[in-house]
Amino acid sequence: MSTIFGQIIEGKLPAEKVFENDRILVIKDIHPVAPVHLLIIPKKEIAMMQVAESDDLKLLPEIFAVAQQMAEKFGVADGYRLLVNNGEMAGQTIFHLHFHLIGGRRLGPMA
Ligand code: 5GP
């Protein structure tokens, strides 16, 4: 796989993994913007939300369920942000679909 996340999924680059199954990997963000900043990454190489195909979209319920579990595990179930940067204009830098789960401090308004 071609991106940093692909390399992490393949075990070629290190990462702090906090959850993994056959379809989804969750790692800690290397540059956290809050006390809890996780990246929920489908293992399938999907470049961005906008190009996800109907089969890919079937992963979404599981991604949301994993987000709920991670929020509980990391003590932020009472307040967190779950977001996707889709495309360069939105700030996407790694073109392998991933969901940011951010919490652990009071979050300001969205930009
Ligand atoms: P994007 O800007 O594409 O939505 O998010 C990419 C995220 O990946 C950023 O928050 C960035 O800090 C994180 N990141 C970049 N390189 C690495 C890495 O090698 N390891 C980990 N764990 N996170 C990374």
Residue 35 beta carbon below 6 angstroms from any ligand 1 atom: no
Q: State the distance from the centre of ligand 1 to the C-alpha of 39, rounded, in angstroms.
A: 8
pLDDT tens, 4-62? 999 999 999 999 999 999 999 999 999 999 999 999 999 999 999 999 999 999 999 99
Domains annotated for the chain, with CATH where assigned, are 4-94 (3.30.428.10)
Q: What residues have CB less than 8 Å from 87, skipping those under 6 apart?
A: 48, 50
Q: Which of 41-45, 80-84, 89-93, 107-111 has the lowest mean pLDDT?
A: 107-111
Taking CA atoms only, the protein residue closest to ligand 1 atom 1 is: 92
Residue type, 5: F
Residue 89 beta carbon below 6 angstroms from any ligand 1 atom: no
Residue 49 beta carbon below 6 angstroms from any ligand 1 atom: no
The verdict on whether 98 is a catalytic residue reads yes
- 19-25: long-range contacts, CB 8 A cutoff, minimum separation 24: 19/66, 19/69, 19/70, 23/59, 23/62, 24/59, 24/62, 24/63, 24/66
**DSSP at 59:** T
Cβ atoms of 8 and 27 within 8 Å: the answer is yes
